[in-house]
């Protein structure tokens, strides 16, 4: 009889707050440049780390006021003219393995063309870090499973601290010290809900809604549901969901809302409408939600709290469908190409 602890994915989700703590400690010690040294910042990665880049770029621009964007590493390799300008640029390359072909090539090309400085965030000190002017390796985020959970969360915490420090917001960095404790309690309090929703095979489609810095996180959780459970799943900005995609909502749909503080009223209306259409709604927010953080941590730097319970939801659905969450169909932990 297979137990939950037999799955690396389960162990990695449950233990991820230790990796958060390491990410916090390491990133606070880094010697970083100043935001004003660059006219723009490009965050890049592949798959999960591309979605991390979307979230981190939104946060960087929000906190610093300087332009930032997240792009797939392959676009920097093959279509750099659509991404880079003559502006002084900082590249933040993110890769769990440190060996992802497109990300390695993008960083090498960026350096060879003398475009600017490179910061690397990874869980392994591999070939990617050779291109780094500043490197951050969070080894407690390393994983045996294919789908990223603990690794993604650890690197996202590091990226969040990086953004706050570049903005000179030491108050936000200090507030993040509570994240590991809050995350541990959150997982314990809401694992049962994750199991209840994830194990219900009457649901056949999942929609993850998040705006601002939460859109990249919605994309990532959508990917976890696809990878681990082979279920129809899509991410959307909150308001965009009304513009066509809501036609898919019925009694078999789960609509997960990653709610914000600033736009909570508008986002709650969207979720209420989806519930009226027959969908099952799960809201995540600081308070008054199905999954309430009650963290006391400023909204801009508590984004990682949206992840673990939803990761567990995908994990439980995978097992209920008779799949192996550690080894999703057709996937490998690292994509390496001949570029």
Contact 147/325 with Cβ under 8 angstroms?
yes
Q: Does residue 115 fall inside a structural domain?
A: yes
Q: Does residue 84 fall inside a structural domain?
A: yes
| Sheet hosting strand 89-95, strand order edge to edge | 67-72, 40-45, 89-95, 116-122, 134-137
Are 127 and 242 members of one domain?
no
Tens of pLDDT, residues 220-234: 999 999 999 999 999
Q: Does residue 326 fall inside a structural domain?
A: no
Q: Does residue 24 fall inside a structural domain?
A: yes
Are 206 and 144 members of one domain?
no
Last residue of a domain, one of 110, 138, 168: 168
Closest CA to 255 of 283, 289, 231, 229: 283
116 bridge partner residues: 89
Are 207 and 301 members of one domain?
yes
Are 194 and 148 members of one domain?
no
Q: Does residue 287 fall inside a structural domain?
A: yes
Instruction: Give me the tens of pLDDT residue by residue for the chain, a chain 339 residues long.
Output: 578 889 999 999 999 999 999 999 999 999 999 999 999 999 999 999 999 999 999 999 999 999 999 999 999 999 999 999 999 999 999 999 999 999 999 999 999 999 999 999 999 999 999 999 999 999 999 999 999 999 999 999 999 999 999 999 999 999 999 999 999 999 999 999 999 999 999 999 999 999 999 999 999 999 999 999 999 999 999 999 999 999 999 999 999 999 999 999 999 999 999 999 999 999 999 999 999 999 999 999 999 999 999 999 999 999 999 999 998 776 665 556 677
Q: How far apart are CA 150 and CA 155, in angstroms?
A: 9
Q: Give the per-residue pLDDT at 337.
A: 61
Instruction: Answer positive or negative: Cα dihedral of 157, 159, 163, 169.
Output: positive
Structural domain of residue 235, as residue ranges?
A: 179-320
Q: Does residue 45 fall inside a structural domain?
A: yes
Closest CA to 47 of 151, 133, 131: 151
Strand pairing class (116-122; 40-45): unpaired
Are 267 and 300 members of one domain?
yes
Are 31 and 164 members of one domain?
yes
Q: Give the per-residue pLDDT at 5.
A: 87
Q: Does residue 40 fall inside a structural domain?
A: yes
Are 163 and 200 members of one domain?
no
Are 187 and 158 members of one domain?
no
Q: Where residue 290 sits, what CATH number does that domain have? A: 3.40.50.10490
Last residue of a domain, one of 117, 133, 168: 168
CA 95 to chain centre: 12
pTM of the prediction? 0.96
Q: How far apart are CA 309 and CA 12, in angstroms?
A: 13
Are 19 and 134 members of one domain?
yes
Into how many domains does the chain fold? 2
Are 14 and 162 members of one domain?
yes
Are 128 and 262 members of one domain?
no
Q: Does residue 197 fall inside a structural domain?
A: yes
Are 153 and 194 members of one domain?
no
Which residues lie closer than 8 Å to 209 by C-beta, 6 or more apart?
218, 235, 236, 237, 238, 241, 255, 256, 257, 258, 267, 270, 271
């Amino acid at each position: 009889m297979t137990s939950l602890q037999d799955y690396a994915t389960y162990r990695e989700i449950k233990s991820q707050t230790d990796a958060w703590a390491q990410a916090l400690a390491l990133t606070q010690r880094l010697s970083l440049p100043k935001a004003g040294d660059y006219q723009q910042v490009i965050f890049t990665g592949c798959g999960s780390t591309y979605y991390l880049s979307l979230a981190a770029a939104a946060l960087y621009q929000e906190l610093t006021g300087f332009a930032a964007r997240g792009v797939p590493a392959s676009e920097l390799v093959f279509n750099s003219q659509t991404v880079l300008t003559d502006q002084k640029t900082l590249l933040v390359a993110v890769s769990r393995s440190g060996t992802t072909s497109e990300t390695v090539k993008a960083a090498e090309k960026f350096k060879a063309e003398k475009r600017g400085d490179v910061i690397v965030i990874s869980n392994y000190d591999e070939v990617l870090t050779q291109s780094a002017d500043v490197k951050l390796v969070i080894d407690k985020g390393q994983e045996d499973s294919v789908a990223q959970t603990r690794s993604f969360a650890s690197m996202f915490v590091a990226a969040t601290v990086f953004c706050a420090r570049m903005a000179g917001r030491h108050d936000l960095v200090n507030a993040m010290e509570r994240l590991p404790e809050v995350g541990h309690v959150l997982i314990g309090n809401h694992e049962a809900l994750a199991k209840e929703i994830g194990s219900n095979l009457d649901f056949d489609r999942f929609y993850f809604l998040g705006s601002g810095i939460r859109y990249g996180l919605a994309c990532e959780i959508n990917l976890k549901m696809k990878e681990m459970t082979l279920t129809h799943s899509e991410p959307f900005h909150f308001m965009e969901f009304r513009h066509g995609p809501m036609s898919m909502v019925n009694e078999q749909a789960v609509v997960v809302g990653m709610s914000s503080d600033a736009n909570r009223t508008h986002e709650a209306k969207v979720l209420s409408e989806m519930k009226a259409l027959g969908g099952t709604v799960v809201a995540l927010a600081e308070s008054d939600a199905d999954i309430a953080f009650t963290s006391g941590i400023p909204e801009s730097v508590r984004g990682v709290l949206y992840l673990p319970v939803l990761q567990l939801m995908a994990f439980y659905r995978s097992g209920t469908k008779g799949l192996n969450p550690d080894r999703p169909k057709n996937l490998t932990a690292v994509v390496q190409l001949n570029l």
